Amino acid sequence: MRGFLTNPVIIKELRERFRTGKTAWILGSYLFVMGAILFGVIYVETANKVYFRPGESREIFILLTVIQLGMIGFIAPALTAGTISGERERQTLNVLLTTHLTPFSIVSSKMLTSLLFISLVVLSSLPLYSFVFLYGGISPVQLIKIFWFFSVNIIFFGSLGVFCSARFRRTGVSTIISYGLTFLVGVGTALITFFLWQFFEMMEWKAVDSDLFPFLFSINPGFVLAEIIGEKVVPPSLTYFMEPWILFSILYLGLSVFLLGWATRVLNPLRKKRLG
Amino acid sequence: MIETQGLTKRYGKLEALKDLNLKIEQGKVFGFIGPNGAGKSTTMMILSTLLRPSSGKAYVGGFDVEKNPREVRQLIGYMPDFFGVYDNLKAIEYLDFYCGAYQIPERKRTALIADLLELVNLSGKADSYVDSLSRGMKQRLGLARCLVHDPKVLILDEPASGLDPRARIEMREILKELRAMGKTIIISSHILPELAELCNDIGVIEKGKLIAYGSVGDMTVGVKGISIMQLKVLDQAEAAEKILTDSPFVKRVDNKNRYFRFQFTGSDVDKAALLANLLSQGIPVVSFSEAKENLEDVFLAITEGVGS
Distances from the Cα of B181 to the Cα of B151, B167, B194, B206, B233, angstroms: 11, 21, 20, 31, 47
Mean pLDDT in residue range B127-149: 89
How far does B75 lie from chain A, in Å, by closest CA?
Answer: 10
Considering chain A, what percentage of its residues have pLDDT values greater than 90? 29
Statement: residue B50 has pLDDT above 60: yes
Q: CA B199 → CA B58, B175, B203, B204, B247, distances in Å?
A: 21, 10, 10, 13, 35
How near does any CA of chain A get to the CA of B146, in Å?
9
Chain segment B19-46, per-residue pLDDT in tens: 888 888 888 889 888 877 888 889 999 9
Quickly state the pLDDT bin for A173 (edges 50, 70, 90).
very high
CA-only gyration radius of chain B, Å: 23
- Give the pLDDT of residue B230: 86
Is the pLDDT reported for residue A275 higher than 60? no
Residue A178 has pLDDT above 80, yes or no: yes
> Helix/strand/coil (H, E, C) string of chain B?
CEEEEEEEEEECCEEEEEEEEEEECCCCEEEEECCCCCCHHHHHHHHCCCCCCCEEEEEECCEECCCCHHHHHHHEEEECCCCCCCCCCEHHHHHHHHHHHCCCCHHHHHHHHHHHHHHCCCHHHCCCEHHHCCHHHHHHHHHHHHCCCCCCEEEEECCCCCCCHHHHHHHHHHHHHHHHCCCEEEEEECCCHHHHCCCCEEEEEECCEEEEEEECCCCCHHHHCCEEEEEEECCCHHHHHHHHHHCCCEEEEEECCCEEEEEECCCHHHHHHHHHHHHHCCCCEEEEEECCCCHHHHHHHHCCCCCC
pLDDT at position A2 over 60: no
Mean pLDDT of the region B96-120: 91
Q: Is pLDDT at B308 greater than 60 in this prediction?
A: no
Give CA–CA dist A46/A211, Å, rounded. 44
Q: Whole-angstrom Cα distance, residue A18 to residue A116?
A: 11
- The reported pLDDT for the residue numbered A230 is 80
Tell me whether B169 touches chain A (CB under 8 Å). no
Which pLDDT band holds residue A276 (cuts at 50, 70, 90)? Answer: very low
Q: Do B70 and A100 touch (CB under 8 A)?
A: yes
Specify the pLDDT at position B295. 62
Give the pLDDT band of residue A16 (cuts 50, 70, 90): confident
CB < 8 Å to A269, chain B:
49-52
CB B153 within 8 A of CB B179: no
With CB atoms and an 8 Å threshold, state whether B49 touches A19. no
Does residue B221 sit at the A interface (CB-CB below 8 Å)? no
Q: Which of A178-182, B84-88, B221-225 has the weakest average pLDDT? A: B221-225
**Res A45: pLDDT:** 75
Mean pLDDT of A47-73: 78
Question: What's residue B300's pLDDT?
Answer: 67
Mean pLDDT of B126-154: 90
> With contact defined as beta carbons under 8 Å apart, do B244 and B251 qualify?
no
Q: Which amino acid is at B114?
A: A
pLDDT of A156 higher than 90: yes
Domain boundaries, chain A: 2-267
In this prediction, residue A52 carries a pLDDT of 64
**Subunit contact B49:A11, Cβ cutoff 8 A:** no
Interface test with A, best of B49, B88, B127, B186 (most A CBs within 10 A): B88
**CB pair distance less than 8 Å for A100 and B106:** no
pLDDT at A274 over 80: no
- Highest mean pLDDT out of A165-179, B86-100, B167-181: A165-179
Domains of chain B: 2-215 (3.40.50.300), 221-292 (3.30.70.100)
B165: distance to nearest CA of chain A, Å? 24
pLDDT score of B307: 47
Residues of B in contact with A270 (CB under 8 A): 49, 52, 66, 69
* Average pLDDT of the residues in A204-230: 82
Q: Give residue B111's pLDDT band: very low, low, confident or very high (50, 70, 90).
A: very high
Query: Between the ranges A55-59, B11-15, B277-281, where is the mean pLDDT highest?
Result: B277-281
Residue scoring higher pLDDT (A241 or B237):
B237
Give the per-residue pLDDT at A42: 78
- Give the pLDDT confidence of A187-204 residue by residue, as tens digits: 999 999 888 888 887 877
- State the pLDDT at residue B47: 92
CA distance B49 to chain A (A): 7
For range B165-194, the mean pLDDT: 82
pLDDT at B193: 64
Please give the mean pLDDT across all residues of chain B. 85
Range with the largest mean pLDDT of A254-263, B79-88, B157-166: A254-263
Which percentage of chain B shows pLDDT scores above 70?
Answer: 89
Q: Which has more confidence, B17 or B294?
A: B17
- Contact at CB, A98 and B97, closer than 8 angstroms: no
| Residue A90 in contact with partner chain B when CB distance is under 8 A | yes
pLDDT at A263: 94
Residues of B in contact with A100 (CB under 8 A): 70, 73-74, 101-103
A94, B45: Cβ pair inside 8 Å? yes
Q: What is the pLDDT of residues B218-247, one digit of tens each?
A: 665 555 567 778 899 998 888 898 899 898
Residue A38 pLDDT: 81
Instruction: Give me the mean pLDDT over the A149-158 stretch.
Output: 93
Mean pLDDT, residues B117-130: 90
